[in-house]
Amino acid sequence: MKQPIVWMVITIFALNTPTYVCAQEENMVRKKTTKDKLSTYHKKRNFKKTAEPEGKVKKRASKQCLFVIQEHAASHLHFDFRLEVDGVLKSWAIPKGPSLDPAIKRLAVETEDHPMEYAQFEGIIPKGQYGGGTVMVWDIGTYENVKEEHDISMEQSYEEGRIEVILHGKKLHGAFALIHTHRPNDKGRQWIFFKLDDEYASKKKNPVNTQKKSALTDRTMTQIKKEEIGRTEWNSK
């Protein structure tokens, strides 16, 4: 039976709902406990020596799903791409960083889940500590799960190895995909990261090379290193 008024109310409600509410699986029983989810992250670091946040799994999702890309001058320079999924930051190290050209597929190596607090971390990880080197918040913002319209959650997309997101960053905009290069449930950590074709795609623009300052503090890697090194060395003694 058709009830136009009911549908109208539902439609108005839907239109007023923010487009990116960070979806949390209400009925999904966490496969891992709060402690387990970040255990790899915690094991790799000595928080008496590094200024990185210890952090914990957020019990409730924030209103908007967060993404961050951190430029990280460790033994090899790379860009860490992180997406908020179910209370933690799912993370991938992208050696060459993002490209705006849909034809260019970038290797993205999955790394351990990071705490939400990590999204604001910018500074120096002391030499000899895990990932020692300068970290800059290269881009930060919110994202939308493209597959939400088909009722596919981020958790499910991750498990299936096919993630599609629309980024609303300070530098990056539009749709990107992360595809696991192995079959679902495979333990392989290699994914590919690439721009999906939309109005933000470009074969000419290369923000990794042209936008070299922090999205948080407007500092270059060199400035961050210079300003933070004294503090970090002092802290680690």
Which of 37, 72, 106, 180 forms a contact with Mn ion (CB under 5 A)? Answer: 72
- Among residues 77 and 104, whose Cβ is nearest to Mn ion? 77
Using rule CB under 5 A, residue 110 touches Mn ion = no
Quickly count: other Cβ atoms within 10 Å of residue 85's Cβ.
Answer: 22
| Rounded least distance, CB 83 to Mn ion, Å | 15
| Rounded least distance, CB 74 to Mn ion, Å | 6
Cβ 98 vs Cβ 172: under 8 Å: yes
| Rounded least distance, CB 91 to Mn ion, Å | 8
Quickly count: other Cβ atoms within 10 Å of residue 78's Cβ.
Answer: 23
Kindly indicate which of the ranges 44-52, 80-88, 117-125, 217-225 contains the residues binding Mn ion, using the contact rule CB under 5 A: 80-88
Which of 80, 86, 113, 139 forms a contact with Mn ion (CB under 5 A)? Answer: 80
Helix (H) or strand (E) holding 231: helix 221-236
Cβ 34 vs Cβ 71: under 8 Å: no
- Cα 82 to Cα 8, 27, 88: the distances in Å are 38, 24, 9
Using rule CB under 5 A, residue 106 touches Mn ion = no
Using rule CB under 5 A, residue 52 touches Mn ion = no
Which residues 166-225 are close enough to bind Mn ion by CB under 5 A? none
Tokens describing residue 6: 């009911």
Binding site for Mn ion (CB under 5 A): 72, 80
